[in-house]
Amino acid sequence: MYFKKLVGENCFLSPIDVNDAELFTSWLNDLEIVENLGFPNLMITVESERTMLEELAKEHNYAIIDQKTNQCIGNCGFKYVDLLNKTAEVGIFIGNRDFWNRGYGQEALKLLIDYGFQSLNLHSVYLKVFSYNTRAIRCYEKIGFKEIGRRRESLLRGEVWHDIILMDILVGEVS
């Protein structure tokens, strides 16, 4: 069951439902999906994913739900929330391919970041993205994220080295 915690036009963010463990497990064992998440070498079981969702549900992590179908399409959330320095790292993924390139990730991330700035009183939100993930980079830039650094050639995929790009956004910079 999903609850409308943060509501946009096309999607809303709901507290994570651990009963979605099988759905998330199917996504997280799909190499095309996880190549952008940084753990393509892991085998995720339903049991391990249920445990992970239980942990994620305790913090500021949410399922992304399509408004029209009430279908879970991915998740997003904050980790490393530092209330003293008012910073947090953000992560997102859309697991359902039918919702790729349709603005759902951008809308969900904007909802989450607005929540972080307005309700958690964050000042800065940051993320890491692989240099080959140009779709995500464009999404982040549209929201207002700016590149703040790179870890050069720090990710090996096949026999090709890639950079890990660091980006952040400050309160008041959301587009």
Residue 172 binned pLDDT confidence (cut-offs 50, 70, 90): very high
- pLDDT of res. 42: 79
**Domain membership flag for residue 76:** yes
Q: At what angle do helices 21-28 and 46-56 cross, to 10 degrees?
A: 110
Helix (H) or strand (E) holding 49: helix 46-56
- The CA radius of gyration of the chain, in Å to the nearest whole number, is 16
- pLDDT of res. 117: 97
Q: How many domains does the chain have?
A: 1
**Domain membership flag for residue 170:** no
Question: CA dist 147 to 11, 31, 150, 156, Å?
Answer: 27, 26, 8, 21
**Domain membership flag for residue 60:** yes
Quote the domain boundaries for residue 46. 6-122
**Domain membership flag for residue 73:** yes
Higher per-residue confidence, 134 vs 175? 134
- pLDDT of res. 64: 98
**pTM of the complete model:** 0.94
User: Which is nearest to 83 in space by CA: 115, 109, 116, 110?
Assistant: 116
Residue 92 binned pLDDT confidence (cut-offs 50, 70, 90): very high
**Domain membership flag for residue 165:** no
- pLDDT of res. 174: 85
Question: CA dist 163 to 41, 56, 86, Å?
Answer: 19, 27, 27
User: Which is nearest to 28 in space by CA: 12, 10, 48, 4?
Assistant: 48
Query: What's the mean per-residue pLDDT of the chain?
Result: 95
Quick: pLDDT tens for 39-73: 777 788 999 999 999 999 999 999 999 999 999 99
Quick: pLDDT tens for 131-151: 999 999 999 999 999 999 999
**Domain membership flag for residue 145:** no
Portion of the chain with pLDDT greater than 90, in percent: 89
Average the pLDDT over 23-29 and give the result: 94
The domain spanning residue 97 has which CATH number?
Answer: 3.40.630.30
The phi and psi torsions of 116 (rounded to 5 degrees) equal -60, -45
**Domain membership flag for residue 88:** yes
**Domain membership flag for residue 163:** no
- pLDDT of res. 9: 97
Higher per-residue confidence, 42 vs 74? 74
Q: Which two tokens stand for residue 134?
A: 């140009």
Average the pLDDT over 110-136 and give the result: 97
